[in-house]
Structure 1
Amino acid sequence: MARARTLAYVGALGRAVRLATKPGGPTLGERAVAVPRLVAAVRSGEYTGTSLGKLGLVAAGAAYVVSPVDLLPESVLGVLGVADDAMVLGWVATTLVEETEKFLEWEKQQGRGPGRGPTVPSDVVG
């Protein structure tokens, strides 16, 4: 059961990587710099595509993966100890890619994002 679940999360991680690197889509760098804007837009209530709770869980999951403290230590449980990290990492990566995908699309529809500052109405003189 744990092995099947781990394989499912590894598959989810693979799908997240494919989505994050699809041709014509946002780069990993664009996604990374969008995260602070995403958090700010959710906090201000402008963007309602996700919640602060979900973003908090993503941050907690990332902290868990890099933390030396582990609920299922690898030194005691071997492969099962690695499986919990793999599951959390798969969920964090998938969720982060999906949320940044939706947010960047929302920014595009709103005419926002980097390089899309306010415009001044004017006429073109030729």
Structure 2
Amino acid sequence: MAYHRPAIQGFTCHALRTARLLTLAGLGSLCFSTGAAAEQAKTLGQKTYEKTCIYCHEAGIGPELKGRQLPPEFFAIIVRSGLRAMPAFPQTHISDATLKELGQYLSTSPARVPASATSK
């Protein structure tokens, strides 16, 4: 005895299958657009941190910057003049406006949770 699914009135199996696929495709594009929107919502300070600072300051080379509640001006002074192993970054590399956004981002960011703490 073969199993026969009851059809939804007015729809063929092919139409239902197509509707399911379109729904899944729509949900997938919604997830993609949400990720794109999140990327657009990043501040200039956050983008600068992720592009320039993260490679040393989240790899154990430089000190942690997030969660220290330091004033934005502190970061501007260090970035412009350099400190120990950190080179100075001139205006040709980071503009004053970008540096101000970076300082604001770092002064208000919560402390980073190390990857080893999240994998337990």
Q: TM-score, normalised by structure 2?
A: 0.30
Greater fraction helix? 1
Higher RCO (CA 8 Å, separation ≥ 6 residues): 1
Which of these two proteins has the greater Rg computed from alpha carbons?
2
